[in-house]
Amino acid sequence: MRRGRPSFEFEVPLWRGDSPLRHECYDRWTTCDRCHRKCETRNIRGADYCRACYPIILGLSDPAIDDSWLPLEPFQHLIAAARFIAATERYGPGFWENYSIGFLRELPISLAYNTEIIVQILPYLNSLSELPAPLKRYEPQLRFALDAVKLDNTMLMALTATLHHIYEFKLWHQKHVAERNARDQYLAAAGFTPKNYRTTDPLLSQLSARERRRRRIAKAPAPVSPET
């Protein structure tokens, strides 16, 4: 089935090439491959998922998403942003995003979750001996992490570029969240009730799922017995 025209789109930072990639949300109604309802869906990894199932498939810790199919809250650190990019395959298979996650997870949590320090370190990943004095104390942890992921100098350049890209995406999403919150506050001040993105979908209850399964079985053609 062909997609309809995008109902809205956003420019997202992209380091692979000169043009920004667009985050497109298609106004398409088809059957969700998880809950099997006919509704608005988004395609990832060759399957269609509705708004309720989409964040579950992505493995988001906070399943709430907004009208742009983006997480409702800002990413707390680079690992969370990298996981989202890799899971959605927004820029193709998340090969380097997964390498970035592996590198960050080899660092102590206090360093891996400190986005600003990681960004300051990135220009020196190929030459840790040149780290500025304030960053020298992180050199042993960085060497350990780089030895664990086993990347040569050329691959380190790609890792550095990917981490920069993840950081730019994190900043872009943070701005997107702030603009959406400001819009919701404006609507509330004008007497309009902003959309509650955290509302639980009652059609995803176990009872509803069992009922949909019963109907699918009832509609399925009876199997034909082989002739003997």
Whether the Cβ atoms of residue 9 and residue 22 lie closer than 8 Å to each other: yes
- 197 occurs within a structural domain: no
The residue from 16, 44, 73 where one domain ends is 73
Task: Tell me, yes or no, whether 42 and 119 share the same domain.
Answer: no
| Residue 44, φ and ψ in degrees, nearest 5 | -140, 140
Task: Tell me, yes or no, whether 88 and 116 share the same domain.
Answer: yes
- Tell me how far apart the alpha carbons of residues 74 and 84 are, in angstroms, rounded to a whole number: 12
Sequential pLDDT tens for the chain (228 residues): 444 444 444 444 444 443 343 444 454 678 888 888 888 888 887 888 888 888 888 888 777 888 888 999 999 999 999 999 888 876 666 678 888 999 999 999 999 999 999 999 999 999 999 999 999 999 999 999 999 988 888 888 989 999 999 999 999 999 999 999 999 999 999 999 888 888 766 655 556 666 666 776 777 776 666 665
| Residue 29, φ and ψ in degrees, nearest 5 | -110, 120
Task: Tell me, yes or no, whether 37 and 65 share the same domain.
Answer: yes
Task: Tell me, yes or no, whether 178 and 82 share the same domain.
Answer: yes
How much is the pLDDT for 139?
94
How much is the pLDDT for 96?
84
3 state DSSP class of 67: coil
Task: Tell me, yes or no, whether 99 and 181 share the same domain.
Answer: yes
- 105 occurs within a structural domain: yes
Task: Tell me, yes or no, whether 103 and 158 share the same domain.
Answer: yes
Task: Tell me, yes or no, whether 95 and 173 share the same domain.
Answer: yes
- 15 occurs within a structural domain: no
- 4 occurs within a structural domain: no
Task: Tell me, yes or no, whether 160 and 66 share the same domain.
Answer: no
Domain around 82: 75-187
Write down the H helix ranges in 3-152. Answer: 54-58, 78-88, 95-105, 109-112, 115-121, 139-149
- 10 occurs within a structural domain: no
Predicted TM-score (pTM) of the model is 0.77
Q: For residue 31, which amino acid is it?
A: T
Task: Tell me, yes or no, whether 120 and 152 share the same domain.
Answer: yes
- 148 occurs within a structural domain: yes
